[in-house]
Amino acid sequence: MKIRNCLLSTIPFLLTFFSTAGFAQESAQDWLMKMSLAAKNMNYDGKFVYQHGNQLEAMRITHQANNNGVRERLVSLNGAPREIIRNNDMVRCYLPDEDSVMVSSRNPQAKKFPGLLPSSMERLNESYLIKTGKISRIANRSAQLILIRPQDRYRYGYRLWADTKTGLLLKADLVNQQGESLEQFMFTDIEINKSLSDSDFEPSFDNSKMVWHKEPGSPKKELSQSNWRAQRLPKGFNLTASLNRFKPTKGEPMIHLVYSDGLAAVSVFIERGHGDSASMSQGANQMGAVHAYRAMVEGYQVTVVGEVPAETVEMIGSSITMTE
Structural domains for the chain: 27-201 (2.50.20.10), 225-322 (3.30.200.100)
- The CA–CA distances, whole Å, from 88 to 52, 91, 186, 258, 294 equal 28, 8, 25, 21, 33
- Helix (H) / strand (E) element for 292: namely strand 290-297
Distance separating alpha carbons of residues 295 and 230, to the nearest angstrom? 13
What's 261's DSSP letter?
A: S
- Helix (H) / strand (E) element for 303: namely strand 300-306
What per-residue confidence (pLDDT) applies to 66?
Answer: 93
Beta bridge mates, 269: 256, 303
What per-residue confidence (pLDDT) applies to 22?
Answer: 43
Within a 10 A sphere around the Cβ of 268, how many other Cβ atoms? 24
Rounded to 5 degrees, φ, ψ at 232 are -130, 130
What per-residue confidence (pLDDT) applies to 7?
Answer: 36
What per-residue confidence (pLDDT) applies to 249?
Answer: 55
What per-residue confidence (pLDDT) applies to 287?
Answer: 85
Q: What is the pTM of this model?
A: 0.84
What's 96's DSSP letter?
A: G
pLDDT less than 70: residues of the chain: 1-25, 107-110, 119, 215-226, 247-251, 275-281, 324
C-alpha angle with apex 159: 154 to 163, nearest 5 degrees?
145
